Amino acid sequence: MNETFLFINKFGWGGAVLILVVVLLLFGGRKIPELMRGLGGGIKEFKDAVKEEDKKSKDSDKEA
C-alpha cells in the first residue's frame, strides 16, 4: 500500500502532463467529453447507491 503512495509522490506534474498528452492522442479531443460524462455519471450513481445504503442501515438500526 505504501509503495503505491510513494510512486504517486514521485510521479509529479511531468508524469501527469505526459498522461494527459497520451490520452489526447489516443482518444482525440471529441471523445474526451463523452468519456468524462460517462465517468461523472458513474460517480453520481455510486454516490447515490452509498447514500441509499446508509439510509437503509439507519432505518434498520431504528427498527432494532
CATH number for the domain spanning 6: value is 1.20.5
**Cα 19 to the center of its chain, rounded Å:** 16
Q: What is the pLDDT of residue 17?
A: 83
Q: Are 23 and 16 in contact (CB under 8 A)?
A: no
Residue 2 is predicted with a pLDDT of: 60
Domain limits for position 26: 1-60
The DSSP letter of residue 61 is H
Count of domains for the chain: 1
- pLDDT attached to residue 56: 82
The pLDDT value given to residue 37: 93
C-alpha to C-alpha distance for 35 and 45, rounded to whole angstroms:
15
The per-residue pLDDT for 50 is 93
The alpha carbon of residue 7 and the mean position of all alpha carbons in its chain are separated, in whole angstroms, by 19
Q: pLDDT tens track of the chain, all 64 residues?
A: 566 555 666 777 788 788 888 888 888 888 888 988 999 999 999 999 999 988 888 777 776 5
